[in-house]
Chains A and B, each alone.
Chain A
């Protein structure tokens, strides 16, 4: 194993996910592969030498030298506006990774899985869902995905396509679709009830969301060491 180098990454495709988020498909020659749930660091360098970097979760499982990131626009951000509004197909950035060996799901594991995502925290969870399908895994998966409003959901068409053994529940915190049973509001213990404590849980989202969801799971009897968390800070962008 060697220390992580920065690699040239060429943007080869763009998919619009919501009004403010896009999936960026990069081709990275020499990419060593990655596990579902891992992230990468993206570095931008200005002509005067100033550089800045941000971490983004990979949205899809390993597939040759192809790496997909879903990036949400952060108003006043430094990196995301460039990636979403300036970078064009054929342009290059630098990417280092994959990094993180903790918040990962391995397809050989058959244990039931609970995925709890808040906002763009769904991205590494989607990589796990896609890895499960790609591997033909029959591990039972349950996704609980919290967003402010219905049109802020990523991957809506793909998640609407039923996959055996994958159960999906949406939580809307500000506005629901018409006729929705659950009143808008933040995640509660009731949203997570009924999941066997023998489940492996992955919780990803803003820090407050992750704290709340993990606390609810522990209160419901889940062992802390079966709950893996990844927090997005306020300093992203």
Chain B
């Protein structure tokens, strides 16, 4: 792969447009190799025609995000799961 990439920090704004939680600190697990790490550490290519986030270990596509004038397409087939940190419930 080319070295001309950004990292998952670049997803924070576009994902902030659709999610109410901060997703770049979530831990994703790659469907390609099973590596787990924060979304912020993914290798991100783009922004045109869309953002493509690849696993830093195996370079498989984990997540794709495309913004059209009236919609956002989010393809997460390369992620087995996303673990999103949540505040503990108040007792």
Contacts and interface: CB of A to CB of B under 8 A. Distances in A.
Nearest to A229: B7
A102 B8 contact: yes
A208 B20 contact: no
Contact of B6 (A3, A41, A207): A207
A3 B8 contact: no
Max count, chain B CB within 10 A of own CB: residue among A53, A96, A102, A235:
A102
Contacts of B40: 100-103, 228
A100 B7 contact: no
Contacts of B47: 235
A232 B4 CA distance: 9
A103 B12 CA distance: 11
A235 B17 CA distance: 21
A97 B15 CA distance: 11
Interface string A217-232: 0000000000011111
Interface stretch (B21-29, B58-66, B75-83): B21-29
A3 B17 contact: yes
Contacts, number: 72
Given A96-B16, A235-B47, A102 B6 contact: no
Max count, chain A CB within 10 A of own CB: residue among B3, B10, B41:
B10
A228 B13 CA distance: 18
A102 B38 contact: yes
Nearest to A52: B47
Interface in B1-53: 3-10, 12-13, 16-22, 24-25, 38-41, 46-47
A4 B21 CA distance: 10
Nearest to B15: A99
Contacts of B18: 3
Identify the 5 closest CB pairs spanning chains A and B, nearest first.
Answer: A102-B40, A99-B12, A4-B16, A100-B12, A101-B22
20 contacts: A1-B21, A3-B19, A3-B20, A4-B13, A4-B16, A55-B10, A55-B13, A96-B13, A99-B16, A100-B24, A101-B22, A102-B9, A102-B38, A103-B40, A207-B3, A231-B5, A232-B6, A233-B10, A235-B4, A235-B46
Given A4-B16, A40-B13, A235-B46, 5 more contacts: A96-B16, A96-B17, A99-B12, A102-B40, A207-B3
